Amino acid sequence: MQQLVEQTELDYQSETYKDAYSRINAIVIEGEQEAHENYITLGDLLPESKDELIQLSKMENRHKKGFEACGRNLKVTPDIQFAKEFFSGLHENFQIAAKEGKVVTCLLIQSLIIECFAIAAYNIYIPVADDFARKITEGVVKEEYSHLNFGEVWLQANFEASKAELEDANRQNLPIVWQMLNQVTDDAKILGMEKDALVEDFMIQYGEALSNIGFTTRDIMRLSAYGLAT
C-alpha cells in the first residue's frame, strides 16, 4: 500500500526527478562499466574460470546499455563525472588488489559488495521505476544474482585460505559502501527509494552471501555492520 501511494506521487518528467536521475542513472551506468572491466580483470586472475568470467563481463556491458536507454527514455543526461568520483574508492582498492594478485579482495569488492549493493538498489528501485526502466531492471537484477553466486561459490570452495583476507578486505571496503550510500540518500529518496530499505536489503544480501561462503552468524553480524554509523 505504501509503495502504491509513493508511486503515484512520482512525476518522472519533473525537473526534480530528472535532476536526481542524472546522478543515480550515471552511478548505475558507470557501475556496470566498471563491473564489466572488473570481470575481465578477474578472468586474468582466475584463468580456470576465464570463459565464465568473460560471460559475466559481457552481461555487465548489456546492463550498461540497458540503463543508458533508461536515461534516454526520460531525456536525462547522466552525470558520469559524478559517478566516477562516487566509485573512486572501491575502484582504486580493486585496482591495487588486482595489481598485487589479491583475487580474494577483488572478489569481495566486485562479486560480493558491489553485486549486493546493486541487487539491493535494483530490488528497491523496481516498484518505483517508470515502466520502461522497470522492465530493464527486472531483467538485470536476475543476472546480478548469478554474479554474486560466482563469488560465493569460489570463496566457499577456498574458504579457509581466504578467511583472513576477506576479513581485511571487508574492513577496508565496507565503510566505503556506507559512505557511498550516504552520498545518494537524498537523490534516492526523490526516486522513491528509502535509505532504510536500501540498508536493510543490502544487509540481507551480504549476510546471506557471507553465510553461504561459510562464516558463522557471529562473524556475519560483526562483518556486515562494520563501518555502519548512521
Smallest distance from the beta carbon of 37 to ligand Y39, in angstroms?
A: 10
Q: For residue 68, what is its C-alpha cell?
A: 543508458
Closer Cβ to ligand Y39, 140 or 166, answer by number: 140
4: exposed, middle or buried (C-beta count within 10 Å: 0-12, 13-18, 19+)? exposed
Q: What are the backbone angles phi and psi of residue 215, rounded to the nearest 5°? A: -70, 150
Q: For residue 142, what is its C-alpha cell?
A: 536476475
- Which residues are at the interface with Fe ion (CB under 5 A)? 32, 35, 60, 63, 118, 144, 147
| Binding partner at 24 among Fe ion, ligand Y39, none, C-beta below 5 to 8 Å by kind | ligand Y39
Smallest distance from the beta carbon of 114 to ligand Y39, in angstroms?
A: 5
Closer Cβ to Fe ion, 23 or 63, answer by number: 63
Closer Cβ to ligand Y39, 121 or 221, answer by number: 121
Smallest distance from the beta carbon of 144 to Fe ion, in angstroms?
A: 5
Closer Cβ to ligand Y39, 212 or 219, answer by number: 212
Indicate left, alpha or beta for 194 from its phi (over 0: left) and psi (-120 to 50: alpha): beta
Smallest distance from the beta carbon of 199 to ligand Y39, in angstroms?
A: 11
| Binding partner at 104 among ligand Y39, Fe ion, none, C-beta below 5 to 8 Å by kind | none
| Binding partner at 90 among ligand Y39, Fe ion, none, C-beta below 5 to 8 Å by kind | none
Closer Cβ to ligand Y39, 161 or 197, answer by number: 197
Closer Cβ to Fe ion, 144 or 152, answer by number: 144
Cα of 204 vs its chain's centroid, Å: 14
Smallest distance from the beta carbon of 139 to ligand Y39, in angstroms?
A: 12
Q: Which residue is nearest to ligand Y39 (CB)?
A: 31
Q: Are 20 and 191 in contact (CB under 8 A)?
A: yes
**CA dihedral for 203, 194, 119, 126, sign (positive or negative):** positive
Closest alpha carbon to 90 in 105, 68, 102? 105
For residue 17, count other CB atoms closer than 10 A to its CB: 19
DSSP one-letter code for 108: I
- Which residues are at the interface with ligand Y39 (CB under 6 A)? 24, 27-28, 31-32, 35, 60, 63, 114-115, 117-118, 121, 144, 147, 184, 188, 193, 198
Would you state the torsion angle of the CA atoms of residues 54, 202, 82, 17, taken in this order, to the nearest 10 degrees?
Answer: 120
Smallest distance from the beta carbon of 137 to ligand Y39, in angstroms?
A: 11
